[in-house]
């Protein structure tokens, strides 16, 4: 079942967007900016593959857990959808959240773990998973 990531706005503290899930629900998203170290991925259609997020991969995770990887990103690998709050905790990855707010003085998605669980549940049992990533409307 396809998922859409609709980016809403890029700020100096990251890119905010929304996941539009197959059950018509939405979650907020946080990504890095389009430029700089570990920029967000380009808009496009990508295949998702269920794998593992490893805490030892330097992305700030606290434990290993199943997570989706976004495949086919030009010149990039290991782009995951995982639990995080602020853009500085990401390396081109995407963090879901149930709310928007601030943590440590930075723009953040909040309640990332429950949002991540909702995201994972929305893809459970799907034969083929894709994500469409759309840039903010101009």
What's the rounded mean pLDDT across residues 85-104? 96
Tell me which of 43 and 126 has the higher pLDDT.
Answer: 43
Q: Return the structure tokens found at 73.
A: 């990103």
Q: Compute the distance between CA of residue 47 and CA of residue 71 in angstroms, rounded to an integer.
A: 5
Average pLDDT over the chain reads 90
Distance CA 10, CA 121 (A): 28
* Reported confidence tier of residue 23, pLDDT bands at 50, 70, 90: confident
Handedness of CA 20, 95, 65, 115 (dihedral sign): negative
- Please, which residues have CB within 8 angstroms of residue 79's CB and are 6 or more apart in sequence? 41, 69, 70, 73, 92, 93, 94
Judge whether residue 1 has pLDDT over 80.
no
pLDDT of amino acid 57: 52
Does this model's pTM top 0.85?
A: yes
pLDDT in tens, 66-89: 999 999 999 999 999 999 999 999
Return d(Cα 83, Cα 35) in angstroms, integer: 22
Pairing of β 3-11 and β 130-134:
parallel
Among 20, 15, 79, 71, which residue's Cα sits nearest to residue 45? 71
Contact indicator for 96, 85 with CB cutoff of 8 Å: no
Lowest mean pLDDT of 3-17, 22-36, 62-76, name the range.
62-76
Q: Mind listing the pLDDT tens digit for each residue in 119-133?
A: 999 988 765 689 999
Nearest of 40, 37, 45 to residue 10 by alpha carbon? 40
pLDDT, residue 99, reads 97
Q: What are phi and psi of 6, to 5 degrees?
A: -100, 110
């Amino acid at each position: 079942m396809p998922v859409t990531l609709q980016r809403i706005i890029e700020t100096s503290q990251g890119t905010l967007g929304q996941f539009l899930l197959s059950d018509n629900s939405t979650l907020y998203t946080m990504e890095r900016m389009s430029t700089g170290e570990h920029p967000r991925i380009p808009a496009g259609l990508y295949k998702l593959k269920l794998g593992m997020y490893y805490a030892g991969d330097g992305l700030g995770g606290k434990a290993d857990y199943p997570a989706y990887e976004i495949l086919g990103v030009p010149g990039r690998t290991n782009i995951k959808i995982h639990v995080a709050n602020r853009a500085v905790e990401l390396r081109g990855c995407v963090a879901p959240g149930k709310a928007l707010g601030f943590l440590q003085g930075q723009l953040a998605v909040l309640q990332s773990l429950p949002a991540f669980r909702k995201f994972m549940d929305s893809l459970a049992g799907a034969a083929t998973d894709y994500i469409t990533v759309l840039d903010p409307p101009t």
